[in-house]
Amino acid sequence: MTRQSENNRVDRTLRKLSLDREAPKSAFILLVLLYAIATFLTVTTGRMHGETIIFGIPVEYTSLPGIFSTLGNICIILLVVLFRKVGYIVSVGLIILQLPMNYVNVFVRHHYRGLPGFFSSIMVIISITVIYLSYKKILNYQNSIREQAVTDRLTGLPNRFATGELMADLLKKDERFCLVSTDLNNFKSVNDTMGHATGDLVLKEVANRWKTLANSMNTGTVDFVARNTGDEFLIVISDYQSIEDVENTIAMYKAELEKKITIDNCDYFMTACFGYTLCPDDTEVIENLYLFADSALHELKKSGSGSRLLRFTPEVLNTEKTLEIERKIRTALSEDKIFFNLQPQYDMNHKLRGFEALARMKDDDGSYINPADFIPVAEDTGLVDRIDNKVFELAVQFIKDVNMDTDHDITMSVNVSVRHLMKNNFIEEIKRVLDAYKVPAECIEIEITESIMIDSADKALQRIDELKLMGMKVAIDDFGTGYSSLSYLNSFPSDLLKIDKSFIDKMNMSASSRQYVAMIISIGHTLNLKVISEGVETSDQIDVLKQIGCDYIQGYVWGMPMPPEEAKKLLEQEHA
């Protein structure tokens, strides 16, 4: 099969979704033939006199033309109903052909027995015209509904339903294919900073580019691009030889996306993650194909932004893993086995500024479970406030143990999930712990992640004001990964910006990445905030951060997260 004919098959599947399906050609021929026979018998029996015996019943010949003419009319109506325009034209043609003969018979030769036949022909033409016109109206309406059902209105691409139909079709034909699930990175920030109208234009541009690429068949495979929802798209790739072919095709979509998008003189640089799964290799169940491609996509998203692709593997499917982690969190909480590590933060002269308290939890085999795995599960299951409270209490206890509250000018940073921050008893809980250990609020800094903060900005701002009134410091964690809107930053009563590790990682790769970090620092300073860089791993990064005026550093280069006993020693050395 050629590529072109393969591609036509994609179109055929879409057409198949149409409600406007015609009956087979054989039915058309049969109906015309039946009509011809019925007409012939109407005329022939009309000329006969007397009666005949049918199934033992005496039937007068004069009653037969009526029966055959009705049969003929039924054929005509069926032709219009089943074959619409063609059926209508042929039917009208067939009747009109007989009209002159009827006319001559009745009005010229004065054979008035043919008069009912003449009027019946006129009536049939009027009836089928009415049927045809109302059918056309219904069809137009049905087609517009179909369009809406299988097409995405914004981009004009097929939608998820159409994708399902195509996959079902490929499955039926035993053809292998790949389902790719893709999601634009940071699209939310385009919407939030430039408005939804601009966001829509970005989506349309991406859709156009991908549609053009799919239609060009330059990828070497047969591709079908659809919009799933929001900034999520689906690509079905078929007619490939190997996984390399699939990955090459995806790479072409990725490259097409990453070309600059200009809207109203503004340039946008979009990237996306691509999760894919193969049928029948991974599964032959359509629902699972979606699930698998999405799971691969989410696995990529979890590990940060950037354009990457990943094939589904069973490990990626983490519903079971999530349940397992939830069980482990519950056990750890009930057995009081949540503990914490402290990661030092330094100023640029390597003088200790303080520590960040980081939750830790061990697996059944004694190995650590990564917080990036258990914190999101805890957030989803509402257990995060219990973890936060535990770490907060341990951190406050540490402050008391090492006399940080009286002897040292050291800050203890504690992470607070926004879900927890929003709880009505949040402030009381914090006060209760501080009172119990008699630790002043000034020793504590609360870290709140920027990206999730905004979703409920007003209430969160109120909570943060209360924290500030108590005397606590507030840090915006993972800065740069969320909205980074200046107006929000200005109204947010924080003390410290924590530049996300992803920016520090890229900082020394290009002048623009470095300028980006420099810009965040200068914005922070303009707003009277201190700025700390997270995830600093090399001395080169320290040098650059010094040059561009960063205030503090947190990273493996000067200190990994450590158990409290080690942190205590570090403090003693610092103040020796």
Q: Measure the CA–CA gap between 166 and 460, rounded to whole angstroms.
A: 46
Task: Classify residue 367 by its DSSP letter.
Answer: P
Window contacting ligand C2E (CB under 6 A); options: 28-36, 132-140, 153-161, 365-373: 365-373
Judged by CB under 6 A, does residue 417 bind ligand C2E? yes
- H helix or E strand, kind and range, residue 442: none
Measure CA 421 to chain center: 28
String of DSSP letters for 425-475: THHHHHHHHHHHHT--GGGEEEEEEHHHHGGGHHHHHHHHHHHHHHT-EEE
| Residues 307 and 185 sit within 8 Å (Cβ to Cβ) | yes
Interaction pattern, residues 471-510, with ligand C2E; x per rule: CB under 6 A: ------xx--------------------------------
Q: Closest separation between CB of residue 395 and Mg ion, Å?
A: 12
Q: In this complex, which beta carbon is closest to Mg ion, that of residue 103 or of residue 339?
A: 339
Q: Closest separation between CB of residue 478 and Mg ion, Å?
A: 4
Q: Closest separation between CB of residue 198 and ligand C2E, Å?
A: 30
Cα maximum dimension of the chain:
133
Window contacting ligand C2E (CB under 6 A); options: 56-64, 212-220, 511-519, 534-542: 534-542
Measure CA 202 to chain center: 15
Q: Closest separation between CB of residue 570 and ligand C2E, Å?
A: 15
Q: Closest separation between CB of residue 406 and ligand C2E, Å?
A: 25
Judged by CB under 5 A, does residue 415 bind Mg ion? yes
Please report where in the chains the tokens 């905004």 appear, as a residue. 454
Task: Classify residue 479 by its DSSP letter.
Answer: E
| Residues 389 and 429 sit within 8 Å (Cβ to Cβ) | yes
Q: In this complex, which beta carbon is closest to ligand C2E, that of residue 10 or of residue 489?
A: 489
Q: In this complex, which beta carbon is closest to Mg ion, that of residue 385 or of residue 477?
A: 477
Bond before 563 cis per omega within 30 degrees: no
Window contacting Mg ion (CB under 5 A); options: 247-255, 265-273, 409-417, 510-518: 409-417
Q: In this complex, which beta carbon is closest to ligand C2E, that of residue 312 or of residue 426?
A: 426
Please report where in the chains the tokens 């406007």 appear, as a residue. 20
Which residue in 184, 478, 541, 552 binds Mg ion (CB under 5 A)?
478
Burial class (CB in 10 A: 0-12, 13-18, 19+), 552: buried
Judged by CB under 5 A, does residue 393 bind Mg ion? no
Window contacting Mg ion (CB under 5 A); options: 97-105, 389-397, 443-451, 542-550: 443-451
Judged by CB under 6 A, does residue 387 bind ligand C2E? yes
Judged by CB under 6 A, does residue 345 bind ligand C2E? no
Q: Measure the CA–CA gap between 182 and 293, rounded to whole angstroms.
A: 9
The 10 Å Cβ neighbour count of residue 80 is 22
Name the residues that contact ligand C2E, by CB under 6 A.
Answer: 343, 358-359, 370-372, 375, 384, 387-388, 391, 415-417, 447, 477-478, 534-537, 554-556, 561
